[in-house]
Structure 1
């Protein structure tokens, strides 16, 4: 599967989880291990949260789970 096919579903899932009241970290925890690729998660964070690559880099450094997506 092409990772670009994962972007729309990742954006929709992040929006849904955030709308339910979860924090960004909680939402990412729920998305982990469900087939969302790191590039799709990066695009979702950019689209939904307005994060740039530097902010995303810092978030994943803090979380320590770069390889989980």
Structure 2
């Protein structure tokens, strides 16, 4: 089963709690800013995602969705 994450860049505040939580180093902090002036997390290596949901669980803004495909 293939897994990947989606991060809502407008909700993310760049707190980076998700980055060290990911065992596969899928998430990085973008160099760009959202409309609220926050740098936001992005899935850089989505192909490596194992669908563990640790990033989504730790996100205080609920900006991360973990999806799974057959």
Normalised to the residue count of structure 2, the TM-score between the two structures is: 0.33
Q: Write 1 or 2 for the structure with the bigger share of strand.
A: 2
Q: Write 1 or 2 for the structure with the bigger share of helix.
A: 1
Normalised to the residue count of structure 1, the TM-score between the two structures is: 0.33
State the structure with bigger RCO (CA 8 A, min sep 6), 1 or 2: 2
